[in-house]
A and B are shown apart, each in its own frame.
Chain A
Amino acid sequence: MRHFRKLSMPYLIWCIIFILIPLVLIVLYAFTTVGNHVISLNFSLANFAKINDPTYIRVFIKSFELGVITTIICFIGGYPLAFIISRQKESVQDLLILLVTVPTWINMLLRTYAWMNILADNGIINGLLSRLGLGQVTMMYTNFSVVLGMVCNFMPFMIIPIHTSLSKMDGSLIEAAMDLGANRLQTFRMVIFRLSMPGVINGVVMVFLMAISSFVIPKLLGGGQFVLIGNLIESQFISIGDWNFGSAISTILAVLILIAMRLMKSMDLKEAEAN
C-alpha cells in the first residue's frame, strides 16, 4: 500500500533544513570550547563535566519535580473536564473546547501579571480575606504560586489531546462492555481510559515539556530564586554569553527527555498490544 507515501517527503526535506542542521550546530557547540573558528575546533567534554556540580544537579532535580507535579495536577484536573466535554452534543463540544483555548490567546506575560496581582500580599485574595476578618496568607514566591501559574497556563494542552481521543470513540464499544456486564467503573478503566491513552500520552508529554523548560512563569511568580533549567539555559545564552555551556545543558535535557519519552512510548505500545 504505497499510496500517499510521498506525502511525507516535503516534510523530510524541511526537517533536514530546519531541525537536523540546527541540531548539529547545537551539539557541536556543546562539545567544543569558547573561541572556536570554523577551521580549528577544540573538542572537549569540559562543558558536560561542569554540570556535575551540586548546584546544577539541584536545578535539574527541582525542574523535574515541578514538571512532574504540574503534569500530574493538569492530568487529574484536565481528564475529567475533557471527559465531561466529550459527553456533550457535538456543537457544544466545539464551543467548550474553544473556550478552553481562548485564554491561551491572551499573552502569557499578561496572564502571569494578573496572577501576581491576585496572589500578592496586598493582592485580591488577601484583600478579600482581610475584609472577612481572616489573616493574611503568603502565596506569592512559593511553590504554590509557581505550580498554580503553570497549571493555569498549560492545562489546555492536556485537555485538547485527551478530548480528541475521547470525542471520536466508538460508542458501541462502551455499550458492548456494559452489555457484557462491566459496571461503569470497569467500563471506564478497561475501555474508555485505555482507548484514550494516545491522547493522554500526548497531553502529558506536551505539558511536561512546557513545564520543564518554562522560565518566565517561575521567574515572575517564584522570584529569581526559582532557578529552573529553562532559566539556566536562558542565562547562559543571553546574559553570560556562554553558548557552549548552554548547548551542553540543553543537550543533556534533550537526552533525558528523549529517554522519558521512550518509556512513555513503550507504555503506549504495550497498551496498544493489550487492546
Chain B
Amino acid sequence: MRKQTGILSKLYIAACFAFFYLPIVVTVIFSFNSSKSLSRFSGFSMRWYASLLGNGEIVKAVYVSVTIAILATVISTVLGTMTAIGLSRQRKVLRDAILGMNDIPILNPDIVTAISWMLLFSSMGLQKGYLTMLLAHIGFCTPFVITSVYPKVRSLDPNLANAAMDLGATPAQALFRVIIPMIRPGIFAGALLAFTMSFDDFVISYFVTGNGVKNISIVVYNMTKRINPTINALSTIVIAVIFAILLVMSLLPKKAVSEGKVSSRSGVRGGKIRKWIAACVVIVIVAGLSALMYSGANAQPAVLRVYNAGEYVEPALLDQFQEEYNCTVIYETFESNEMMYTKLQAGDEYDILVPSDYMIERLIREDYLQPVDWSLIENKDAINPDIMNLSYDPGNVYSVPYFWGSVGILYDTTVVDEKDLEDGWNLLQNPKYAGNLYMYDSERDSFMVALKALGYSMNTSDEKEIREAYDWLIRQRDNMKPIYAGDDAMDNMIAGNKAISVTYSGDATYAISENEDLDYFQPEEGTNLWYDAMVITKNCENVELAHAFMDFMLREESAELNTLFIGYTTSVESVYEKMQEEDFEGIEAYVPRVGHPNDEIFAYQDAQTKKLYAELWTKVKAQ
C-alpha cells in the first residue's frame, strides 16, 4: 500500500508548499528591511531585531500568546477528548444537545462571540485579563477538538472497550490503553487546530482581555496604523525556532524517536520524549498560573490605566514616567474611537483616555468624563493657543490637547497635474485618474469629502444634503472605481501603486518623508480639522497621578520625543515650531491650516443621522 511517491506527487507537494510559504518568505525578507516599509526593500539591516528586543510590550505579548496557546490547547484537548468519548455513549437527546451547542462558537462570526463573552464576563464580575482570555480561548478551541475527535470515536467499534474490560481491564485502563491510542490521529489533529486557532486569534482576545494583558495579535493589530517590520522580525524568530525544533527532532537518533512514538501509542512504557513533553507542559502551566497570580495581585499603590490609540506614544516616555512617579502604567491601545467606546460601554475601567474630538463630545454628553483641574497642569501655557477652546470642548473643561491635524489629498507629483488641483475635492472625480485613487474607508470621512465638494457643512443633519452627498459618492464609485482602503493605503502610496489618496495630515507627513514624489494639499472648499486629546474618566482612581501624566506629556522634552516617534503635529507650540525648522522642514502636511473659514471639526452625531450615514455608506461600497 505504501509505495514510492511518484515524481508528480512530489511536484504537487512542492507546489503546495511554495504557495503556503511564499507570504512567509516575503515576511522574513522584509524583517531585514532598513526602512519602515513592508513593500519596498531598501537595504539590509538588523534594526528591527534590535527594536524587538527593546520592546517590552512585544516580549510580554509573546509570553502571553505562547502560554495561553499551550494552556488552552492542553485543557481543550483533554476536555474535548473526554467529551467526545462520553458523547458516543450518551443518550441521543443529550448528545444532540451538546453537539448542537458545540457548533455555535464555530459558526458564529468571531465578533459576535467576542461581544457576547465580553458581556458575559462583565456580568459575572470577573476581572478581565489573563484568566478571562484563557477561558475564552478554551471556549473556542474545545469545539474544534470535539469536531476532530468525535468522528474518530464514532468510527470505533464500541465492543473494543467492552472486550478489554471483559479481559479484566479496569475502565481507566480500557480508556487509556484501548480507546485513546485508537483515536490518536483525531486528538493530534484537534490539538493542532486548537493551538493554531488560539495563537492567531485577535477579535475574541481583544474584547475579553483587560488590565494590560495582550497577546501578539492584539499588538500587531494596533500597530496597523504604523505597521513596521518589528513584527516581521518576531515572525522570523518564531519560524526559526519551529524549524530548529523540527531539525533537532529529525536529527535525533531514529531509534529514540520511534521508541518514544511506540511507547506513547501503546501507552505501556513512558518514553523519554513523553517525559520531556510532560515536563514542558508542567513548566508552562506553572508559568501561566504565576502570570495569573501576578495579574491578579497588582497591589502596587499607584496604578494609572491609560487607553490610547495604537502606536501613539513613544514607549520610553512611559518608562520614564513610571520611574519618576514611582507608579505602574497599565497601557492599553485601541484601533478606533468606536472600539474604545465599545469597551467603555461594557464597563471596562480606565483612568486616562485619548479619543478624538467628536468622541470627546460624545463622552462628555454621556457623562463618562470628569473636568480637568488646570491648576495641576503646570505646562498649560506650552499648548498652542490655536488649538484650545474649540467646538468639541469649549473652554477645555474636560480635555488636554495631544496631537492634531487636517484631512487632505496626498498625491503623486509625477502623475497628477498641478493644474488639476484647482478642482479641490472634485479632483477625486477627474476621469484622468480613474482607477488610480484611494478613498478613506470610513463613512464620516468619505461623506465629509462629498459634502465639502458640494459646498455643505460636513456636520449637516439635513437629509436632502446627505442624499446629495450620497449621489456624489455613487457617481464617484461608478466613474472613478476608487479603492476604499484603510491605513494600508499609506504603504501603497509610498510604493507608488496609486496616485491619489484621501489622507490624514500626520500620515501624509510620514509618507512624504518616505517618498519625495508625494505631496499634500488641503482643498479650498474646506476640510476636517481633527484633534486628539487626553481626558480623565469619571471613575478615575488616582486623579492626581492622571494630571501628572498629562502634564508630563506636555513637557517640551517629552513632546519632542513623542513627536519624533509618531510624526504627527504636536500640541506643544515650541516643539511644533522646532519641528518645522528641523525634522519636518519643507513638509507642508506637518503644518495644518489654521483659521480657514470653510474648515470644520466633526461634531457629535445623533443616532438617527449616524444610522443614515452607515446605511448609505454600505450602499456605496456594496455594489
Contact = CB atoms under 8 A, between A and B. Distances in A.
Interface of A: 1-12, 14-15, 17-23, 25-26, 34, 55-56, 58-59, 62, 77, 80-81, 84-85, 87-91, 95-118, 120-124, 140-141, 152, 155-157, 160-161, 163-165, 167-168, 171, 174-175, 198-199, 202, 205-206, 209, 213, 215, 219-220, 223-225, 227, 229-230, 232-235, 237-243, 246-247, 250, 253-254, 257-258, 261
Interface stretch (B110-118, B320-328, B461-469): B110-118
Contact of A7 (B2, B86, B224): B86
Given A110-B220, A120-B495, A14 B189 contact: no
Given A11-B79, A11-B83, A110-B232, A157 B21 contact: no
A77 to B, nearest CB: 7
B618 interface: yes
11 contacts: A3-B165, A8-B98, A18-B120, A62-B622, A99-B17, A110-B231, A117-B39, A120-B39, A168-B152, A220-B486, A232-B618
A245 to B, nearest CB: 9
Contact of A242 (B82, B90, B611): B611
A122 B497 contact: yes
B592 interface: no
Contact of A88 (B5, B95, B119): B5
A250 B112 contact: yes
B111 A234 contact: yes
B112 A106 contact: no
A206 B106 contact: yes
Contacts of B24: 103, 106, 111, 114
B433 interface: no
Contacts of B9: 84, 87
Contacts of A23: 101, 104, 116
Contacts of B185: 164, 167-168
Contacts of A18: 117, 120, 135, 139
Interface majority SS (helix, strand, loop, mixed), chain A:
helix
Nearest to B159: A1
A257 to B, nearest CB: 5
Contact of A114 (B12, B23, B618): B23
A237 B485 contact: no
Nearest to A227: B622
Contacts of B216: 107
Nearest to A229: B109
Given A34-B607, A87-B3, 19 more contacts: A8-B90, A15-B102, A25-B119, A62-B622, A101-B192, A105-B200, A106-B24, A109-B224, A113-B488, A114-B23, A115-B23, A120-B495, A155-B20, A163-B189, A167-B185, A215-B109, A224-B441, A240-B610, A243-B115
Contacts of B142: 11, 14
B196 interface: yes
Contacts of B439: 224
Interface in B15-42: 16-17, 19-24, 26-27, 30, 38-39
Contact of A254 (B107, B110, B242, B488): B107
A225 B482 CA distance: 9
Nearest to A208: B107
A233 B112 contact: yes
Interface residues on B, range: 35 or more
B1 A171 contact: yes
Contacts of A167: 185
A3 B89 contact: yes
Q: Name the 9 nearest CB pairs between A and B, nearest first.
A: A224-B484, A8-B86, A7-B86, A22-B116, A224-B441, A114-B23, A213-B109, A198-B151, A11-B83
B623 interface: yes
Nearest to A172: B1
B297 interface: no
A232 B258 CA distance: 51
A6 B38 CA distance: 53
Interface of B: 1-3, 5, 9, 12-13, 16-17, 19-24, 26-27, 30, 38-39, 79-80, 82-90, 94-95, 97-98, 101-113, 115-117, 119-120, 135, 139, 142, 144, 146-148, 151-152, 154-155, 158, 161-162, 165, 171, 174-175, 185-186, 188-189, 192-193, 195-196, 199-200, 202, 216-217, 220-221, 224, 227, 231-232, 235, 238-239, 242, 246, 250, 257-258, 261, 336, 338-339, 341-342, 345, 439, 441-443, 477, 483-486, 488, 491-492, 495-498, 607, 610-611, 614, 618-619, 621-623
A20 B174 CA distance: 33
A220 B108 CA distance: 22
Contacts of A97: 192
Contacts of A84: 5, 9, 12-13
B112 A247 contact: yes
Nearest to B10: A84
Contact of B162 (A1, A100, A246): A1
A105 B242 contact: yes
B195 to A, nearest CB: 8
A121 to B, nearest CB: 5
A254 B496 contact: no
A124 B29 CA distance: 12
Nearest to B619: A55
Contacts of B21: 103
A65 to B, nearest CB: 13
Contact of A238 (B98, B146, B342): B342
A108 B235 CA distance: 11
A58 B620 CA distance: 13
B338 A238 contact: yes
B192 to A, nearest CB: 5
A1 B23 contact: no
B104 A254 contact: yes
A118 B38 CA distance: 11
A109 B221 contact: yes
Contacts of A168: 152, 185
A5 to B, nearest CB: 5
A249 to B, nearest CB: 9
B257 to A, nearest CB: 7
Contacts of B339: 238
B200 A107 contact: yes
A103 B20 contact: yes
Indicate the member of A2, A160, A198, A224 with the most B CB atoms within 10 Å: A224
A8 B339 CA distance: 37
A199 B1 CA distance: 21
Contacts of A202: 147-148, 151
A123 B13 CA distance: 26
